[in-house]
Amino acid sequence: MRRDYLLAFRVPEKPPTEAVSKAMREAGAWVESRGALLGGWDYDESEGFILVHLKSEEAEIEQLKAAFAELVSESLGQAVESAVISPQGGSYVKAQGILPSPSVMGFLLRVSHQREAKCDLTGNEVFTLLLFYMLGGDTTRVVLASSFFDLDPDEAEAALHKLSGRYIDVERGELLKPGEKLLDSLIRDLRARPVAGERALLSLIDEEYRTEDFSMDKLARSLYLSGVPYRYIPEIVKQVAGTLRGRRFVSRRSLASVVRSLIEDMDRTDTALRFYAYVHALDRVYVLRDGREERISWSLLRGIARATLGKRALKVPSALAEALAELIADRIREAIASEPWRSEGVTLSEEELAGIAEDAAPLVSRAWAELREADPRECARIYKLRGRENLQAAKGTYDFGERKDLILRGLHLTTSGLLLELGVLPSNYIEQNLGVLRTMLKSRAETSDEGIRRYISLALKLARSPTIVSPRENRQVLKWLDELIKLEMG
Amino acid sequence: MPSCLKLRIRLNEGSLDLRITAKGIGEVLPHEEVIPTHLDRLKLALINSTFQRNPIIVDAASGLILDGTHRWAAMRDLGYRWIVVCEVDYSNPLVVLDRWVRAYRHVESSLAEEIAKEFEAEPVERDEIRNEDLVLETPSTLYRVSCVSVKEAFAKLRAIEERLLQYGYAPFYVTGDYKSGVGKRYSLFLIPPLPSKSNVVEFARGGSLLPPKSTRHLVPARPLGVNVPLKLLSNESLDFEALSEILRQRNPVLLRPPVRLDRDYQELLLYFI
């Protein structure tokens, strides 16, 4: 079970807060890759004293403390010493976190404003029941945290008193059946749902009569990336969706004109011009190949993306190459859209394009960057090991937000490890990795793959499970997680 | 608007409400004088800081400063208009009023006797001593200094301290089981009167400040590390909504005593990290 600890360090040369902040970020990323969590830190610059809030397994805290000090020392360029924080001479003490993880906090903050009465309970009592459930049945935490959600501690105490014996068991810190039943329906009702938007897929025809898939998501992304203010975007998307309703094809030229006109209605300066330049940016880009200038094309971008990602001598899934090609295109568009009055063409060398691709590649595959110096088999072993550490840690935490983070990190690491073992470059996206794994297994009918097949099924369920779960969903998630950890993979 | 963050801490003996908020610098009441060297040190630290790290502790009803007189005086002298406070209910029995005993080393018994005589102190038995008495204690004798009121007792405490200082004796401030040191580490104890809580509020309201370190308030829980930007506290009017969000920005953790940070804490800490 993960616990909260406060660790103390002393930095003799008292570096500025910015340097300590960077060191904390780096050390925090390291501990988090091992299934622990950096909850926060505080630095007293005048004393050179750092306090660090870590969540970790008790057995690992000493090791983490030493590693943390080493990482911070390395980042700050000076030796960081453990400081005494307990009168017995220890450099860490057990602590008790009060507030939940950002995901749970966010959910509670959202719903704290819509306290509706349910069954025989008032809005405050229902909210207190939610707090009790989300804070692990710890009434001390419920009363202490209540004020952060604009609930007076007196009201929280009174609500706990009323809930006790009927909805909750205060002594055991557990929900009683009626409490579970109420939360099962309440939590599902309180979840935000995406508005049923325009999902129809259209085909976009460019000036050279090539077609590509188009959706309102793509339009919203282009608007945002071209610098159109966010407040105009929902209305533009709505109007375009209305204009295109019932159609299967749209030419890029007419679509860009409609959008440009809508922006001009809303913003009378140069925003429309920038959008137009962004959409047509690639039309002005040429690539110098074998001494000849060639208009940039998607096939060229995909080729460069594939060549870049292929440098690690692993199979490159087409979705991964596509994602990198999109990123390269975005970077070129952004650079050109910032100069909308420039009408002449821009010529890039193949090396320049390759440079952009190399720079963007870690954004689609972190493993690609790490494999620059590591052997794929060793990398796979480490990914799977750390993946399991994260999944184990997920089992030992009752904070739903922390647990989901650990599950996703664990799944990303284990899927990456499995793909590397199969000679495939993993992506930064879990669902993409699982999709590739499933496709690969389809072509092999080996019984030894049964474990991986079950793993894929469980991993998808876990990855797509809600972060904030009702009591019933919670039991299901724990069951899946348990089975996934026990699975013998490959 | 002025309500900011009310935190209820459950303790074995009961519960304690802490309300973290801000008060106008003139709205709180000191009841003790400051030690100039300590004040100068704090002012220097504040000049080099961008935050008020820890709130001072005050009584919610009267604004009496229970802990943090020096920090308050430093902020007042530096021109801040507001100070972040943690309000507690002084009448809550969990908030205990104690005193700092002055312990002296190597004071000759003849000097102790001379001072006792000068201040009309008479030998007494331990069970004759009352809380409001000013007491001198040597390894062999317990003296009660004759006073008609608690106020006079504090005036005489100051005079005796000054007299001992003239002879080159500076006190150590000790608490709790100080008696174990009689005749071993220390040769003389000067034990201030222990006023009632209402006495302390009365003195502060009347503007008569007690000598530095006359009282020692034991609050069973306190917030630390709230780190409120000092810039916010220098404005003429304070934006309480901003302060409230700043406090909610941080993530408090409970630390059970004993904990050693800038000093040893024997109370429960709520560290905003």
Across the interface, whether the CB atoms of B225 and A46 are under 8 A apart is answered no
Q: Which residues in chain B are closer than 8 Å to A47, comparing Cβ atoms?
A: 262
pLDDT higher at A110 or A448: A110
B255 domain-assigned: yes
Res. A313 pLDDT band, cuts 50 70 90: very high
Tell me which of B191, B211, B242 is where a domain ends: B191
- Residue A83: name the closest of A21, A163, A178, A8 by CA: A8
Percent of chain A with pLDDT over 70: 97
B224 domain-assigned: yes
In order of B91, B97, B128, B150, B196, the CA distances from B131 in angstroms are: 18, 12, 10, 10, 9
Q: Which residues in chain B are closer than 8 Å to A93, comparing Cβ atoms?
A: 255-256, 259
SS3 B101: strand
Instruction: Report pLDDT digits (tens) over A238-260.
Output: 999 999 888 889 998 899 999 99
Tell me: do B87 and B149 sit in the same domain. Answer: no
Q: Which residues in chain A are closer than 8 Å to B89, comparing Cβ atoms?
A: none
A242 contacts chain B (CB < 8 A): no
Helix, strand and coil percent figures for chain A, each rounded to 5:
60, 15, 25
In order of B21, B24, B241, B242, the CA distances from B238 in angstroms are: 11, 9, 9, 9
B65 domain-assigned: yes
Contact A243, A237 (CB under 8 A): no
Q: Which residues in chain B are closer than 8 Å to A109, comparing Cβ atoms?
A: none
Tell me: do B174 and B207 sit in the same domain. Answer: no
> pLDDT at position B180, please?
58
Instruction: Report pLDDT digits (tens) over A408-430.
Output: 999 999 999 999 999 999 999 99
Instruction: Tell which of B255, B267, B271 to mutate to test the A interface (max A CBs under 10 Å).
Output: B255
- A445-459, B82-96, B197-211: least confidently modelled range: A445-459
Give the CATH class of A376-486: mainly alpha
* Separation CA B196–CA B206 (nearest Å): 15
Tell me the helices (H) and strands (E) count for chain B, helix number first: 7, 20
Tell me: do B48 and B11 sit in the same domain. Answer: yes
Tell me: do B143 and B79 sit in the same domain. Answer: no
Q: Which of residues 112-151 of A touch B (CB under 8 A)?
A: 139-140, 143-144, 146-148
Q: How far is CA A386 from the centre of its chain?
A: 18
Residues in B whose CB is inside 8 Å of some CB of A read: 5-10, 15, 17, 45, 48-49, 53, 225, 227, 248, 250-256, 258-262, 264, 270-273
> pLDDT at position B97, please?
95
> pLDDT at position A281, please?
87
CATH number at residue B62: 3.90.1530.10
B174 domain-assigned: yes
Tell me: do B135 and B180 sit in the same domain. Answer: yes
Query: How large is the average pLDDT for residues A270-290?
Result: 88
- The angle subtended at Cα A271 by Cα A269 and Cα A277, nearest 5°, is 125
Q: How far is CA A378 from the centre of its chain?
A: 26
pLDDT higher at B176 or B161: B161
Instruction: Tell which of A18, A93, A108 to mutate to test the B interface (max B CBs under 10 Å).
Output: A93
Tell me: do B91 and B106 sit in the same domain. Answer: no
Name which of A46, A87, A96 is nearest B254 (Cβ-Cβ): A96
A410 contacts chain B (CB < 8 A): no
Has residue A106 got a pLDDT over 70? yes
3.30.565.10, 3.30.830.10, 3.10.150.10, 3.30.70.100: which CATH number matches A2-95? Answer: 3.30.70.100
Has residue A200 got a pLDDT over 80? no
B223 domain-assigned: yes
Tell me: do B211 and B241 sit in the same domain. Answer: yes
CB atoms within 10 A of CB A100: 24
- A285-289, A440-444, B180-184: least confidently modelled range: B180-184
Tell me which of B191, B210, B244 is where a domain ends: B191
* Separation CA A134–CA A393 (nearest Å): 18
Tell me: do B108 and B92 sit in the same domain. Answer: no
> pLDDT at position A490, please?
46
> pLDDT at position A368, please?
97
Instruction: Report pLDDT digits (tens) over A138-189.
Output: 999 999 999 999 999 999 999 999 999 999 999 999 999 999 999 999 999 9
- The angle subtended at Cα B22 by Cα B20 and Cα B26, nearest 5°, is 135
- A206-210, A234-238, A472-476: least confidently modelled range: A206-210
Enter the DSSP assignment of B64: B
In total, chain B counts a number of residues equal to 273
Tell me: do B150 and B85 sit in the same domain. Answer: no
As for how many domains chain B has, the answer is: 2
Has residue A488 got a pLDDT over 80? no
- Residue B53: name the closest of B170, B224, B181 by CA: B224
> pLDDT at position A448, please?
66
Has residue A198 got a pLDDT over 60? no
B208 domain-assigned: yes
B196 domain-assigned: no
Mean model confidence pLDDT for chain A = 91
Instruction: Tell which of A2, A6, A103, A157 to mutate to test the B interface (max B CBs under 10 Å).
Output: A6
Q: Which residues in chain B are closer than 8 Å to A144, comparing Cβ atoms?
A: 7-10, 252, 254, 270
B66 domain-assigned: yes
* Separation CA B113–CA A282 (nearest Å): 98
Has residue B11 got a pLDDT over 60? yes
Has residue A286 got a pLDDT over 80? yes
Tell me: do B38 and B152 sit in the same domain. Answer: no
Residue B182, domain extent:
101-191
Q: Which residues in chain B are closer than 8 Å to A40, comparing Cβ atoms?
A: 250-251, 273
Q: Which residues in chain A are closer than 8 Å to B49, comparing Cβ atoms?
A: 45-46
Name which of B8, B48, B53 is nearest A144 (Cβ-Cβ): B8
The number of C-beta contacts closer than 8 angstroms across A and B is: 92
Tell me: do B52 and B179 sit in the same domain. Answer: no
> pLDDT at position A447, please?
63
Has residue A227 got a pLDDT over 50? yes
Tell me: do B9 and B71 sit in the same domain. Answer: yes
Minimum CA–CA partner of A42 in chain B: B273
In total, chain A counts a number of residues equal to 490
